[in-house]
Chain A
């Protein structure tokens, strides 16, 4: 096996250009998955640099590192890239790689559509960013582009239009990937791989895909309407001509709240894979995990208006109640993960550290979510830094920490060699405090009334110290991220072969080689539970 590992790591020079073309035209789900993840990670780095610029501007009162207009562009591109071009697509990329392997299929159901999805995603991302090169600059209406901020009177530049078109492409790409994942996990399962034996990650992707199919089309509707208003003289959101600006908010959040679950469920799946492996126990409450995912999926389409409490145009009590309810299945998952670790033989390699970091951070984000789901409280903290704190605890502290867990966990499977543990741990121990230093103070700032999306603030407000702390934290966080990038580079210079199954994994992908052959499996073991790789090792150990 080691021979093939070395080859995969370092192809001979001559083969490289042919190899490059092969990657461009590939329809292999593993390659597309890798491309998806690498591209979205590149967007993460870019969006991270934008975030550092935002933090530099806010480090002290009255600074003018960037002007007000540039500041609007910064937070718009930062938010758009993180949400639409990193967290959600990274989950789809990971699923692209893993779902066919986990269900025992040779590829995705529609390999060519899959390739199209990836390239549409790349084109969409570049289109969004290309706005920065236009005269009026990039889009500047925030990641949710409320009307009338997004209308033609508030910005006639092409940046906003490119943002719309780019996101339409990303939406189409996501929908096609969702269809592909559903078809693959429902119709292409290996013999013996019943629905109740699917790994939790695959289950979470099934629910995510359903949410994608429900949520992204209404986003496309909303974006199309904004475009009609901007470029064809339409009046959807223009009250003076019979339109209704609240309509945009309804359509957007009907998408927006499921979208936050599209950005978290895949990573619930990730930690549901890593935690059992590093606890040396089967996952506690498999059925509970699956059912809670379905419950979250179901409830998440009924809570969108908790983003609109302050509009006065929605039935607050209903949407508040459903929002509280959604905490129940989320809590169930938490107990499942804790229950899995309980009395397990815990080990703490880097993927486990990041998974535990996920649990800690997400817990805080979940609690602040429930706090805000109460309209009287929300009236006070709406549009303050409290919201910024909440969304970063769930997305950065939650999803992104789980993304790092996934990177460290599956990297050896994907490339055949391991990432260094020392640098990995350093990375984690910088990111965890860096993250909390950056975002915990924002809860306090929000309660003290600091509004979000302001370019600066007066010294008299008394917000200076905590803002400086947040900026310092963001530097530490960024250095932590950088260490993982360095780790990938250093580890690939002196690859340590990983073997097929470096962690003692449970799901099917650990049975095949690292990296897997073109069609994934030469043979598949008997599947008798949701842990086929584990079962296989047990049988082998018992055999004489």
Chain B
């Protein structure tokens, strides 16, 4: 009988990235539930958005631009890491961080200037819950970036982490595009 060595990973896929992909899939289902709720409530409404509610497009468009930039900067951070230039990687991660923080700040400003609340009607509940959960995920993304900076001291280990976090930022981006399209553009 042959004796095989006890294994660790038997495949080339970095397991952290694989885990992140599955996690993102489950997150997509979570946001999918929110979008399903949005369409269901919208389809039974007589006027949408309800009377007296109109969303301004300027700030959300700025938000879209900002989050688009983060997908570029996180890509550059990953490329820098691959090329072993830790300094460049750090500055790209910090740039991403700053853009992400700006995103949250602008979103907060927008929230503060809308004339309806989460408790005004079902529309308000949807609006704040959907954008709120996305914002919460951006916040988590910021924490992940800080974690990545801490891990960058050991570039070998940071590689898989950087890839996983980049996937996560793209997921934030995709969800935002959905929100932008559904909530703002299709008013």
By a beta-carbon cutoff of 8 Å, the part of chain A in contact with chain B is: 104-106, 109-110, 113, 175, 178-180, 182-183, 186-192, 213-218, 220-222, 224-225, 228-229, 232-236, 238, 241-244, 246-247, 250-251, 254, 519-526, 536, 539-540
Contacts and interface: CB of A to CB of B under 8 A. Distances in A.
Given A235-B122, A242-B50, A244-B122, A218 B4 contact: no
Contacts of A192: 4
Most B CB contacts (10 A, CB to CB) among A189, A221, A236 go to A221
A509 to B, nearest CB: 14
Interface stretch (B7-15, B85-93, B155-163): B7-15
A405 B73 CA distance: 55
Interface of B: 1-11, 13, 15, 18-19, 22-23, 25-30, 32-34, 36-37, 40-41, 44-45, 50, 117-119, 121-126, 129, 133
A524 B10 contact: no
A217 B27 contact: yes
Nearest to B7: A190
A232 B119 contact: yes
A236 B122 contact: yes
A240 B13 CA distance: 51
Contact of A221 (B18, B34, B44, B118): B34
A387 to B, nearest CB: 25
B125 A189 contact: no
A521 B30 contact: no
Given A188-B8, A217-B30, A233 B119 contact: yes
Contacts of B22: 178-179, 182-183, 213
A236 B37 contact: yes
Nearest to A192: B4
B123 A242 contact: yes
A45 to B, nearest CB: 31
B8 to A, nearest CB: 7
A225 B37 contact: yes
A243 B129 CA distance: 14
Contacts of A215: 29
A175 B30 CA distance: 11
5 contacts: A109-B15, A221-B30, A236-B129, A243-B41, A526-B4
Given A242-B50, A247-B37, A523-B4, A187 B26 contact: no
B26 A244 contact: no
Contact of A244 (B6, B41, B119): B41
B33 A104 contact: no
B15 A190 contact: no
A187 B129 contact: no
Contacts of B125: 225, 228-229, 232, 234-236, 243
A523 B3 CA distance: 6
Contacts of B26: 175, 178-179, 213-214, 216-217
Interface of B is mostly: helix
A234 B37 CA distance: 13
Given A186-B18, A234-B118, A242-B122, 5 more contacts: A191-B7, A218-B36, A225-B129, A236-B122, A526-B1
Contacts of B122: 234-236, 238, 241-244
6 closest Cβ contacts across the A-B interface? Answer: A233-B119, A221-B33, A234-B125, A242-B122, A217-B29, A217-B30
A104 B6 contact: yes
B121 A190 contact: no
A214 B32 CA distance: 10
A524 B37 CA distance: 50
Nearest to B32: A218
A218 B19 contact: no
A213 B28 CA distance: 10
A244 B40 contact: yes
A175 B11 CA distance: 23
A247 B41 contact: yes
Contact of A235 (B10, B25, B36, B119): B119
Contacts of B5: 191, 524
A251 B34 CA distance: 9
A324 B7 CA distance: 43
A524 B3 contact: yes
B56 to A, nearest CB: 21
A105 B7 contact: yes
B27 to A, nearest CB: 7
Given A110-B19, A224-B133, A243-B122, A236 B6 contact: no
B174 to A, nearest CB: 15
Contact of A250 (B9, B40, B124): B40
A202 to B, nearest CB: 14
Contacts of B19: 109-110, 113, 179-180, 183
A106 B1 contact: no
Contacts of A216: 26
A209 to B, nearest CB: 9
Contacts of A113: 19
Nearest to B41: A244
B182 to A, nearest CB: 15
Contact of B18 (A105, A187, A214, A235): A187
Given A225-B129, A236-B122, A247-B40, A187 B4 contact: no
Contacts of A214: 26, 29
A183 B4 contact: no
A162 to B, nearest CB: 21
A183 B18 contact: yes
Given A225-B37, A251-B37, A220 B30 contact: yes
Contacts of B25: 213
Contact of A187 (B15, B29, B44, B121): B15
Contacts of A247: 37, 40-41
B36 A242 contact: no
Given A217-B30, A218-B29, A243-B125, A179 B23 contact: yes
A446 B11 CA distance: 53
Contacts of B32: 217-218
B37 A190 contact: no
Given A218-B32, A242-B45, A243-B125, A187 B6 contact: no
